[in-house]
Amino acid sequence: MTESAHKSDKDPSAGALLGPAEIRDLAELLGVNPTKKLGQNFLLDGNTVRRIVKVAAVQPGDTVVEVGPGLGSLTLGLLEVGAAVVAVEIDDRLAEQLPLTVQLMQPGAALTVIRADALKIAELPGDPSRLVANLPYNVSVPVLLHMLEHFASIRTGVVMVQAEVGERLAAAPGSKIYGSPSVKAAWYGQFRTAGKVSRQVFWPVPNVDSILIAFERRSADLESEELRLATFALVDGAFQQRRKMLRQSLSTVLGGSAEASAVLTAAGIDPTERGEQLTVHDFLAIARAWLAS
């Protein structure tokens, strides 16, 4: 990609962002054929990028972690408002190109690129306070939970995920779509849907709808790591057999249905309830009773 290519092809309203022409140029230059395996659907539309940055309320001077910057569409939107970006990208070619693209489009912007699998990353520079990302769809929930688990500095964020997955993340107890991701997300804070995104703004066009999910982390994490692990094990047990009563669905985790009934009763939860009726605080109460038994 040359500077003149930018000047001639760029939509003037796009400013310092990538438009469809730059995305095409970059992909060609790198020989990138977007893969489903890595959930590569690149954002082509500057308005969507700016909308995400606005919903995330990114401020100048914020440090934002972005998982999967790809060709840099959203990265440039974050940098444009004066944030520092720490970008974690698994694809070598994309990770190598990103600093060059940013240098060309927004010289001097505060970008750090880390070539890594976000599911394995345990350290990040700069204590990022926000997570803003168009997540790879196939691993969106594990990546989100991994980031919240390992980086307590992340207080708030906006992620784009497959619509069905996002609605589950933000679901409340009692609804049909409430499940293990909803409870695990609620462990970390409040999640809400923040608007659908058209398929047409991606290249390639995905065969699923997308949605923005915004979250605010609790001011203090709920409990110790031991209690989190116990709670998550109970959540997995309860939703693996979501139609069954808790005394049955939790019998594998708790060592039998009589043991499950005793723990549930000690926690003040009716053993004949189902997991889909329980809040994260209910699951935490069961975990406490379990560890105390």
246 sits near ligand SAM (criterion: CB under 6 A)? no
Closest by alpha carbon to 74, among 217, 216, 212, 215?
A: 212
Cα separation, 267 vs 246, in Å, equals: 12
Cα separation, 45 vs 60, in Å, equals: 22
- Residue choice 139, 197, 211, 238 for contact with ligand SAM (CB under 6 A): 139
- Residue choice 53, 85, 86, 88 for contact with ligand SAM (CB under 6 A): 88
The whole-angstrom distance between residue 107's C-alpha and the CA centroid of its chain comes to 28
**Shortest approach of ligand SAM to residue 215 CB, angstroms?**
18
- Classify residue 2 by its DSSP letter: -
Considering only 5-13, 131-139, 248-256, 268-276, which stretch makes contact with ligand SAM by CB under 6 A? 131-139
151 sits near ligand SAM (criterion: CB under 6 A)? no
**Shortest approach of ligand SAM to residue 40 CB, angstroms?**
5
144 sits near ligand SAM (criterion: CB under 6 A)? no
DSSP for 41-57, please give it: -EE--HHHHHHHHHHTT
282 sits near ligand SAM (criterion: CB under 6 A)? no
136 sits near ligand SAM (criterion: CB under 6 A)? yes
- Classify residue 170 by its DSSP letter: T
Cα separation, 287 vs 272, in Å, equals: 17
Residues that bind ligand SAM (CB under 6 A): 38-43, 67-71, 73-74, 88-91, 94, 117-119, 134, 136, 139
